[in-house]
């Protein structure tokens, strides 16, 4: 039996979905179809969604799970009439919080997200362009403005991590690829001179060579670049360099971009410039 | 009186922080310092955090607010002993959900995030590189592989939106700038031929000219590019083009990258390739 869960919001739906997925992830044995319904911000949209929920209940033969972060009372009431098992985040927690904070809440979740401060917006956009300009060692003269410089072999996750750090936290992340160009005459990887004076900003990424080979194979099948020998050699040299110079690093093999980013922040204590939304 | 809120997790902290910020945003009049504490995944880290919470309670003269998504029972117990007003998401909702789903939950939030499927990871990474390769009209021959092509004037938010769509949803978003190069002889903006055959994939962004001028001014102060006249003219031509060709579009002026992206998805019905995490 497949059940359906609806994550409903009058805003982006990010909070409802993130909480809903975390809760339902606890039930590995239950097959749950997950539908996010953002921007349910009018009575009409709410009624139309109730129709969808009713049809889903009939089709599934069991009531859907409804997880919502709708603030508007009139819209809530419409959704409340839908058949479903309701996880009502706001009404559950807002009242106790009102007592604790000894004040009334303002019911403005949607708006809060919309009125982003100009400064925070500019910071995030600036950081995204910083990450783009300083991607893959393309430019190295702005490293004094970087909050962090990610280093690692090609395709270990540097670019997506830099961009996530910029978009989510406004962190200015450059990244620099460790390649054979930076080996000395006996084939040992050396810290490129351009990085030497920013050693305190370096953060290393590493990866299981088998995973690396698979990722590179997608890009250039059956090449030297994607061969196991090459991947093993590059990864072991990069890790040796991190250890020798005490560059903090993490293994990205089993981590999502979110995890790589948040772990890096937790380990280095780098300040976020803006709060995630 | 400033109060402190702790968002605590044994994983990335994204769920705890997202929910916590949404809840606390309802209390606009209360000044709340917000601290995210991710990866509290050992008893030792939990004890050390309890020490920080205790010190905070003394300094603030009032108990902190504690919002957590810790799953491990032993770690929970340590945190539970800290002084604070606790918003306990999992224990509040998991038990009722267990009854509704008639099964036990598996207490594995952290792990669930870690065991990302390889396919989803590849999809997101591929989409990030697609967005980079197809940024700002740099390349146009891959538009048949695009899920969406964002169009708009320079600095209206195309690049951050493309990257967010890729990172968060695995959507392949190209973007193309509308510039004077695409005006005809009477100075009217025309749809560039390279976009004509992909009209069904186009999505327009627009922006308040004053906001655009401010953003451009950061980049090139006191230039024609950042002048109000220029910004007004470009924006009005872009909007005229959208209307004439029935290209759906949204005004990004007061929206965050998250909102632009999720609204675009809601309006176009584009399929996400992966779920956000």
Does B166 have pLDDT greater than 90?
Answer: yes
A254 marked as binding residue: no
> Tens digits of per-residue pLDDT, A68-123?
999 888 999 999 999 999 998 888 898 889 889 888 887 544 444 444 567 788 88
Does residue A158 form part of some domain?
A: yes
Locate A182 and state its tokens.
């930076």
Q: Read off the pLDDT of residues B220-252 as tens digits, 9 standing for 90 and up.
A: 999 999 999 999 999 999 999 999 999 999 999
DSSP calls for A129-170? HHHHHTGGGS--TTGGG-SEEEEESTTSSHHHHHHHHHHHH-
Question: Which positions ≥6 away from A259 have C-beta within 8 Å?
Answer: B11, B12, B113, B114
Domain contains A107: no
pTM for this predicted structure: 0.87
Which helix (H) or strand (E) is A176 found in, with range? strand A173-177
User: Chain B: nearest CA to A64, how far in angstroms?
Assistant: 10
Residue B111 lies in a domain: no
Q: What is the DSSP letter of A44?
A: H
Element (H, E) at A275: none
Mean pLDDT across chain B: 91
CB atoms B100 and A85 under 8 Å? yes
Residue numbers in chain A where pLDDT is lower than 70: 107-117, 276-277
Domain membership flag for residue B164: yes
- Pair of tokens at residue A260: 């790589």
Domain boundary, last residue among B101, B133, B168: B101
Distance CA B251, CA B233 (A): 16
Question: Higher confidence at residue B72 or residue A230?
Answer: A230
Nearest to A25 among B112, B116, B167 (CB): B112
CA distance A231 to chain B (A): 18
Q: CA torsion A81→A84→A87→A89, rounded to 10°? A: -30
Run of H or E residues at A85: strand A85-88
Helices then strands, counting H and E runs in chain A, come out as 11, 8
Residues B68 and B204 in one domain: no
Residue A164's domain spans which residues?
118-268
Residues 6+ apart with CB under 8 A from B57: B63, B64, B83, B84
How many domains, in total, are found in chain A? Answer: 2
Asked if B65's CB is within 8 angstroms of A97's CB, the reply is: yes
Q: What is the pLDDT of residue A273?
A: 82
Rounded distance between C-alpha atoms, residue B26 and residue A177, angstroms: 44
- pLDDT reported for residue A102: 87
CA distance B16 to B68: 6
pLDDT tier for residue B111 given thresholds of 50, 70 and 90 = very low
Are B172 and B243 found together in one domain? Answer: yes
B215 and A125 Cβ atoms separated by less than 8 Å: yes
What's the confidence (pLDDT) of residue B219? Answer: 86
pLDDT at B112: 44
Residues B97 and B226 in one domain: no
Q: Domain ends where: B101, B133, B165?
A: B101
Asked whether residue A90 is assigned to any structural domain, the reply reads yes
Interface A–B counts its CB contacts (< 8 A) at: 212
Do B197 and B95 have their domain in common?
A: no
Report the pLDDT value the prediction gives residue B174, as an integer from 0 to 100: 97
The answer to whether the annotation marks A170 as part of a ligand binding site is no
Nearest Cα residue in chain B from A16: B19
Torsion, CA A264, CA A265, CA A270, CA A274, rounded to 10: 130
Residue-wise pLDDT for B143-163, tens only, equals 999 999 999 999 999 999 999
Give pLDDT tens digits for B15-50: 899 889 888 988 888 899 999 999 999 999 999 999
Token couple for B241: 């083009």
Q: What percent of chain B clears pLDDT 90, i.e. is strictly above it?
A: 69
Q: Of the residues B75, B101, B127, which one is the last residue of a structural domain?
A: B101
Domain containing residue B221: CATH number: 3.40.50
Structural contact between residues A199 and A190, judged by C-beta atoms closer than 8 angstroms: no
Question: What proportions of chain A, in percent to the nearest 5, are helix, strand and coil?
Answer: 50, 15, 35
Q: Is residue B106 part of a domain?
A: no
Instruction: Please indicate, yes or no, whether residues A124 and A220 belong to a single structural domain of this protein.
Output: yes
Which residue out of A7, A11, A13, A25 would a mutagenesis test of the B interface target, given it has the greatest number of B Cβ atoms within 10 Å? A25
Q: Both A47 and A165 in a single domain?
A: no
A16 and A77: one domain?
Answer: yes
Q: A184 and A234 share a domain? A: yes
> CA-to-CA distance for A145 and B32, rounded, in angstroms?
30
pLDDT reported for residue A108? 47
User: B79 and B157 share a domain?
Assistant: no
Q: Does residue A146 belong to any structural domain of this protein?
A: yes
A180 shares its domain with A62? no
| Residue B25 to chain A, least CA–CA distance (Å) | 6
Do both A129 and A235 map to the same domain?
A: yes
Let me know whether B46 and B183 are in one domain. no
- What's the rounded Cα separation, in Å, for the pair B101 and B95? 10
Count CA atoms within 13 Å of residue B129 on its CB side: 13
On the question of pLDDT at B113 being above 60, the answer is no
- Known binding residue A157? Answer is yes
ipTM of the complex: 0.85
Residue B112 lies in a domain: no
């Amino acid at each position: 039996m497949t059940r359906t869960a609806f994550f409903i919001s009058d805003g982006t739906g990010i909070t409802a979905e993130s909480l809903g997925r975390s809760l339902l992830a606890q039930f590995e044995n239950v097959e749950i179809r997950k539908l996010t319904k953002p921007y349910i911000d009018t009575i009409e949209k709410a009624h139309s969604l109730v129709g969808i929920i009713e049809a889903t209940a009939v089709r599934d033969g069991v009531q859907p799970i409804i997880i919502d972060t709708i603030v508007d009372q009139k819209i809530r009431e419409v959704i409340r009439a839908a058949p479903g098992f309701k996880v009502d985040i706001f009404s559950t927690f807002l009242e106790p919080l009102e007592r604790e904070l000894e004040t009334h809440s303002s019911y403005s979740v949607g708006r809060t997200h919309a009125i982003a401060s100009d400064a925070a917006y500019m910071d995030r956009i600036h950081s995204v362009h910083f990450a783009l300009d300083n991607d893959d060692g393309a430019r190295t003269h702005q490293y004094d403005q970087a909050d962090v410089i990610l280093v690692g072999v090609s395709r270990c996750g540097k670019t997506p991590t830099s961009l996530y750090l910029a978009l989510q936290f406004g962190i200015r992340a450059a990244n620099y690829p460790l390649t054979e160009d930076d080996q000395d005459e006996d084939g040992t990887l050396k810290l490129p001179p351009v990085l030497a004076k920013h050693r305190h900003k370096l953060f290393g990424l590493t990866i299981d060579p088998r995973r690396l080979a698979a990722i590179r194979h997608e890009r250039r099948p059956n090449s030297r670049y994607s061969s196991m020998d090459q991947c093993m050699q590059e990864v072991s040299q990069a890790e040796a360099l991190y250890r020798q110079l005490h560059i903090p690093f993490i293994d990205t093999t089993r981590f999502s971009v979110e995890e790589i980013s948040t772990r890096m922040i937790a380990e280095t204590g780098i300040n976020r410039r803006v709060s995630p939304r």
